[in-house]
Amino acid sequence: MPQAEDWSIKNLLEWTASFFEKKGLDSPRLDAEVLLARVLKTTRVELFVRYDEKPSDDARTQFRELVRRRSAGEPTAYLVGKKEFYSLDFEVDSRVLIPRPETEELVLEAIEHIKRTDKALANDGADSRVWSICDVGTGSGCIAVTLAKYIPNSQVVAVDISPDALQIAQRNAQKHKVEHKITFLEGDLLDPVSLDLSEERRFDIIASNPPYVSESEYARLETTVKDFEPKLALVGGSTGAETPVRLVQQVPERLKSGGRLFMELSPTTVGAVAETMKKDERWTDVEIRRDFAHIDRFVYAVRK
Ligand SMILES: C[S@@+](CC[C@H](N)C(=O)[O-])C[C@H]1O[C@@H](n2cnc3c(N)ncnc32)[C@H](O)[C@@H]1O
């Protein structure tokens, strides 16, 4: 660390960014800024305006502790207790997966489908509808809350097997003022959702980012994921595809005819899941899509 008299915000950031770089972190400067902004209860932009300010001894002690934990691999999102997803802040801690940018792509796809359909209905002079959506494995609630927030005419069911995750998802729903639009259910995949749904009570959309990592991939995951994020949120069975395949077998009985599944997977599981669906005559238009990094990532399909 610099000499005590040199502990300005500027020097703290430069020293920490260089320290994180030597530790091999992916975004050393960004991490340093996010952590210091957290300690000083300010924004990253505000740090630049206050560059020459010298934080108090107490603030520096708190910052040093966060720097130590970050350099040991703990994700920045857990250290600051939040992660931005689709321009909304989500509370996170080690009981839920940190929302990923790939999942924003899935949400974007679902929102675009809804907006396109609503526009076509309006052009036909049809009454507007309420979209009934289910998010399976909701975790922090990032999919359920974002859809409830950005689709005003929606009602959402969010399921998770982890009561801890459901608690956090509920807090995020409250934070974004959509708790009245979301029903939270605890249980295994779609088990908590009745099987005897009449056609009009079935879902229009089922979205899911289920656990899809295999046991062997899990063993090789980087420390920052494996040692800190919940295994329950990551491992989908010995090949990784077991949980997603179980889910796609349960979905058709809860989806309306013409309803859609939006599912995030990994390049190693997407093929097996799509194959299972193609063999099942209840599905049509089963499509594997790539993410922005050109990696096979999503299965989208329509219920016949
Ligand atoms: C990959 S995380 C996704 C979390 C969140 N939807 C997201 O995209 O960030 C998978 C979630 O599924 C939950 N989960 C795992 N197995 C489950 C099961 N059998 N039934 C319901 N939820 C499950 C985990 O607790 C975790 O919250």
111 CA distance to ligand 1 middle (Å): 21
Tokens of residue 120, six digits = 């076509």
The residue to which tokens 């990696």 are assigned: 295
Residue nearest to atom 14 of ligand 1 (CA): 137
Residues whose beta carbon lies within 6 Å of some atom of ligand 1: 96-97, 99, 103, 137-140, 142-143, 159-162, 165, 188-189, 209-211, 232-233, 243
| CA 299-285-303 angle, 5° bins | 90
Find the Cα–Cα–Cα–Cα dihedral 242, 244, 248, 250, rounded to 10°: 70
Q: What is the pLDDT of residue 236?
A: 98
Are 65 and 35 in contact, with CB atoms under 8 Å apart? no
Enter the tokens of residue 59.
């603030």
pLDDT (tens digit per residue) in 270-297 = 999 999 999 999 999 999 999 999 999 9
Quick: pLDDT tens for 195-220: 877 888 899 999 999 999 999 999 99
Distance 108 CA to ligand 1 centre (A): 19
When pLDDT is cut at 50, 70 and 90, the band that residue 4 belongs to is low
Query: Which of 138, 142, 159, 297 most suits a substitution to test ligand 1, by most atoms within 8 Å of the C-beta?
Result: 138
Q: Which residue puts its alpha carbon closest to atom 26 of ligand 1?
A: 233
Q: What is the mean pLDDT of residues 145-149?
A: 98
Mutate to test the pocket of ligand 1, among 93, 95, 96 (most ligand atoms within 8 A of CB): 96
Closest-CA residue to 244 (of 199, 297, 205, 202): 297
